[in-house]
Structure 1
Amino acid sequence: HALNNLKPINFFTMPTGLLMVDQVLGRIEEGIFS
């Protein structure tokens, strides 16, 4: 849901997309599912 049902690879072409993916992965590592 955090990535609007898009695959993370879709975001790697956008600078802001990389930040979004990084934030989601950080939440998963901390056990906070978005």
Structure 2
Amino acid sequence: MLEINLNILGILHQKLTRMDMSHQNLLRKKISILK
């Protein structure tokens, strides 16, 4: 059970970090457009 939960947490963490990265990229694009 614990191993499965850890795997799910790892997958969720990967998805969140990916979303965070794409969000940061979008922000950079917006900032560069503003400049």
TM-score (ref. length: structure 1): 0.52
More helix by percentage: 2
CA RMSD of aligned residues (A): 2.0
Structure 2 stretches lacking a partner, 5+ long? 1-15
- Runs (4 or more) in structure 1 with deviation over 2 Å come to none
In the alignment of these two chains, the number of paired residues is 20
**Higher RCO (CA < 8 A, seq sep 6+):** 1
TM-score (ref. length: structure 2): 0.50
